[in-house]
């Protein structure tokens, strides 16, 4: 596969899926110059206006009625939970500025408000045997992060962006926000969290994308992710 075909492949995939990974296929080396492209936010991080914030998905935007929606917390937990939207809004929240990066050059910085995943996992009583936390979406998408990442204070389930209720295209009612992870880890329209004792490969990871999903070091920095 030559470079131009590879570039077109990544571009097409990004339009179909949104922030897909920086490791498109197992065994394929990404051109370092291409891997690091993307301007990133200005220093210090500037919040991207909502009208300029990119929206990409699998082509399905599920219609969700918040009065009927629930977040199920299952798997290796002492107390499985079924949380309503009002429950989520009543929990302790944080507001933080977090940078969203896609290898194809799409990037943006948002001010996100939501509930730390750690709070929900502790409320459910996660097992010490936990290895991964899986997030399932209403459009049948899924991805996972390690239990260690899930317990970091700035890994949150966001219900607001830039001070307003999360729009449907951005994942209403809940979107996972994971600093220093590429966009395909940022699951939208979350309906279930499952705690498991194994490494889980989600929709894109099972198709060859990096299960770690780390943002390249060159695109990280203290000003790109910060509390508010």
Q: What's the confidence (pLDDT) of residue 119?
A: 98
CA 101 to chain centre: 10
Whether residue 118 contacts residue 151, with contact meaning beta carbons closer than 8 Å, is answered with yes
Tens digit of each residue's pLDDT (9 = 90 or more) over 115-144: 999 999 999 999 999 999 999 999 999 999
The answer to whether 174 and 189 are in contact (CB under 8 A) is yes
How far is the C-alpha of 98 from the C-alpha of 20, rounded, in Å?
Answer: 18
21 pLDDT higher than 90: no
pLDDT of residue 60: 74
The residue segments making up the domain with residue 133 are 3-227
Report the b/e string of 98-119 with b at 16+ CB within 10 A. bbbbbbbebbbbbbbbbbbbbb
pLDDT the model gives residue 70? 98
Q: How many domains does the chain have?
A: 1
Contacts of 20 (CB under 8 A, 6+ apart): 10, 13, 14, 102, 103, 104, 182, 183, 184, 204, 209
Question: Which pLDDT value is given to residue 2?
Answer: 44
Query: What average pLDDT score do residues 202-223 get?
Result: 83
Q: What pLDDT, on a 0 to 100 scale, did the predictor assign at position 37? A: 31
Are 67 and 85 in contact by the 8 Å Cβ rule? The answer is yes
pLDDT digits (tens, 9 = 90+) for 195-207: 999 999 999 999 9
Residue with tokens 């390249």, as numbered in its chain: 216
Task: Grade residue 59 by pLDDT with cuts at 50, 70 and 90.
Answer: low
pTM: 0.80
- The answer, yes or no, to whether residue 30 has pLDDT greater than 50, is no
Q: What is the pLDDT of residues 68-118, one digit of tens each?
A: 999 999 999 999 999 999 999 999 999 999 999 886 778 899 999 999 999
123, 78 contact by CB (below 8 A)? no
Q: What is the share, in percent, of the chain residues with pLDDT greater than 70?
A: 74
Q: Residue 100: which CATH number? A: 3.90.420.10
Determine the Cα–Cα distance for residues 124 and 79; give it in Å rounded to an integer.
5
pLDDT, residue 228, reads: 60
pLDDT mean across residues, the chain: 81
């Amino acid at each position: 596969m030559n470079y131009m075909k590879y570039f077109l492949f990544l571009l097409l995939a990004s339009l179909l899926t949104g922030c897909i990974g920086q490791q498109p296929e197992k065994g394929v080396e990404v051109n370092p110059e291409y891997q690091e492209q993307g301007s990133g936010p200005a220093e210090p991080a500037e919040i991207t206006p909502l009208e300029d914030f990119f929206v990409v998905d699998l082509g399905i935007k599920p219609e969700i009625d918040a009065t009927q929606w629930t977040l199920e917390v299952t798997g290796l937990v002492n107390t499985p939970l079924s949380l309503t939207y009002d429950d989520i809004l009543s929990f302790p929240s944080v507001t933080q500025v977090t940078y969203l990066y896609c290898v194809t050059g799409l990037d943006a910085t948002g001010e996100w408000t939501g509930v730390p995943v750690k709070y929900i996992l502790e409320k459910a009583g996660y097992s010490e045997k936990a290895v991964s936390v899986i997030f399932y979406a209403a459009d049948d998408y899924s991805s996972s992060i390690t239990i260690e990442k899930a317990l970091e204070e700035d890994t949150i389930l966001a219900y607001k962006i830039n001070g307003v209720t999360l729009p449907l295209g951005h994942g209403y009612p809940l979107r996972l926000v994971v600093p220093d992870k590429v966009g395909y880890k940022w699951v939208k329209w979350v309906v279930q969290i499952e705690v498991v004792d194994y490494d889980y490969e989600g929709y894109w990871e099972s198709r060859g994308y990096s299960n770690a999903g780390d943002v390249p070091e060159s695109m990280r920095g203290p000003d790109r992710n910060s509390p508010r």
